A and B are shown apart, each in its own frame.
Chain A
Amino acid sequence: GNSVTQMEGPVTLSEEAFLTINCTYTATGYPSLFWYVQYPGEGLQLLLKATKADDKGSNKGFEATYRKETTSFHLEKGSVQVSDSAVYFCALYTARQLTFGSGTQLTVLP
């Protein structure tokens, strides 16, 4: 079946630090890949997406590249802010279903 494995949290960083959250997947066919973000007390919001190999999704300073050879979609940001504190979910879509990773809690300290 399809699955998404995310790096376990929580992750705590100082403001302006570099962020990487690892995500690898197992899927049949050619899934679309997503990162969603969930701020406290809110629903999930799409952060970025990539629909085919070597695509790079980017938004709000976050980036992730669809790597088919390593089945990965790692999330990166060069300089995090306190306002980036949230839970980040990697997800894949295939066979009419969106499958989420377990989420990674990020806390950014001033």
Chain B
Amino acid sequence: DTAVSQTPKYLVTQMGNDKSIKCEQNLGHDTMYWYKQDSKKFLKIMFSYNNKELIINETVPNRFSPKSPDKAHLNLHINSLELGDSAVYFCASSPTGSQPQHFGDGTRLSIL
């Protein structure tokens, strides 16, 4: 009964490939997020969706595209992967924006 689940947990791929990371939450929350955590543990918000509507779109390359088919899912698609995309990507959700966020366990993306 995992609250926020991400797949895959590990993703190793070549530069230039396209990949997707899936996220699902079973908490009934309205808001979902994607974060990137670099090798120094620094966390940065990438996107935020509220009821399938994009509300935060930080300055990330347009190779990154979020997709929210319904309010329980927020997937992240990345085109033309680059070495600098190597990081841990976290999905999170919250009932509303001001409530504490629940995080998934992360997807460790490694670009060869």
Tell me the A residues contacting B by CB distance below 8 Å.
32, 34, 36, 38, 41-46, 49, 87, 89, 93, 96-100, 102-103, 105
Contacts and interface: CB of A to CB of B under 8 A. Distances in A.
Interface residues of B, number: 22
Contacts, number: 50
A89 B105 contact: no
Contact of A97 (B42, B45, B104): B45
CB-based closest 7 A-B pairs: A43-B103, A103-B41, A46-B100, A100-B43, A44-B103, A43-B105, A96-B97
B48 interface: yes
Interface of A is mostly: strand
Contact of B98 (A87, A93, A99, A100): A93
A105 B41 CA distance: 9
Contacts of B90: 43-44
